[in-house]
């Protein structure tokens, strides 16, 4: 049975474009814990799916790690999606080019600091991508990451102030690195 209290919180998050991740980061303890909102949807998935279909949304359960909604017949990519993908790809490139293990982005105790990410503003290869996607025109990389990734629960800031991928962010890179047939 759907919880009225949790369903309202879930609705408010999903309608704002947030993802509901399997795990939540707790700043005070610097630990991950199971997300009660994720568990609520998971246990009552059929009811939630039907509820969102009635208001023209498809409730998507991706990689068994997060939920999000998209408009039914709304198309695949929009400006927000392109900005999210561009930021994630740039962050991934910076991490690998700095010689860090990818685990830096996925370990809630580690993360990547703003000092490492600021290279995106100063190097032409990154700034060209950012400007093409209408990013960092009047805001810093920190503001763009907060606006497009943190507010959507694709990344979070840990207690050290470093950026870490949530379950949704990790799933993005998992899909990106899956081996695809060439032909």
For 142-169, the pLDDT digits (tens) are: 999 999 999 999 999 999 999 999 999 9
CATH number of the structural domain spanning residue 25: 1.10.10
Dump strand ranges (E) for 20-118.
20-21, 23-26, 31-34, 57-62, 66-71
For 95-121, the pLDDT digits (tens) are: 999 999 999 999 999 999 999 999 888
For 48-66, the pLDDT digits (tens) are: 999 999 999 999 999 999 9
| Dihedral of alpha carbons 53, 86, 172, 149, sign | negative
Same domain membership, residue 94 and residue 58: no
Same domain membership, residue 157 and residue 139: yes
Q: Which two tokens stand for residue 171?
A: 């799933």
CA–centroid distance for 158 within its chain: 15
Same domain membership, residue 99 and residue 25: no
Residue 85 has pLDDT above 70, yes or no: yes
Looking at the structure of the chain, the number of domains it has is 2
Same domain membership, residue 156 and residue 120: yes
Task: Please state the pTM of the whole predicted model.
Answer: 0.91
Q: Which of 21, 41, 71 is the last residue of a domain?
A: 71
Residue 74 has pLDDT above 80, yes or no: no
Question: Residue 140 is part of which domain span?
Answer: 79-177
**pLDDT tier for residue 130 given thresholds of 50, 70 and 90:** very high
Same domain membership, residue 90 and residue 156: yes
Same domain membership, residue 88 and residue 30: no
Same domain membership, residue 92 and residue 64: no
Is 182 inside a domain boundary?
no
Q: How far apart are CA 140 and CA 151, in angstroms?
A: 16
The residues near 81 (Cβ < 8 Å, ≥ 6 apart) are none
Q: How far apart are CA 100 and CA 94, in angstroms?
A: 9
Closest by CA position to 7, among listed 20, 26, 17, 25: 20
């Amino acid at each position: 049975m759907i919880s009225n209290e949790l369903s309202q919180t879930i609705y408010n998050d999903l309608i704002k474009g947030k993802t509901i991740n399997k795990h939540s980061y707790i700043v005070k303890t610097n630990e991950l814990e199971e997300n009660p909102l994720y568990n609520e949807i998971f246990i009552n998935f059929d009811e939630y799916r039907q509820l969102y279909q009635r208001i023209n949304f498809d409730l998507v359960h991706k990689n068994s790690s997060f939920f999000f909604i998209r408009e039914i017949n709304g198309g695949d990519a929009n400006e927000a999606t392109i900005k999210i993908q561009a930021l994630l790809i740039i962050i991934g490139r910076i991490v690998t080019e700095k010689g860090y293990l990818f685990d830096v982005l996925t370990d809630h105790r580690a993360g990547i600091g703003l000092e490492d990410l600021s290279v995106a503003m100063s190097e032409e290869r990154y700034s060209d991508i950012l400007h093409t996607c209408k990013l960092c025109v009047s805001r810093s990389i920190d503001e763009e990451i907060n606006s497009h990734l943190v507010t959507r629960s694709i990344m979070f800031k840990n207690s050290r102030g470093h950026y870490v991928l949530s379950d949704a962010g990790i799933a993005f890179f998992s899909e990106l690195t899956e081996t695809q047939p060439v032909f």
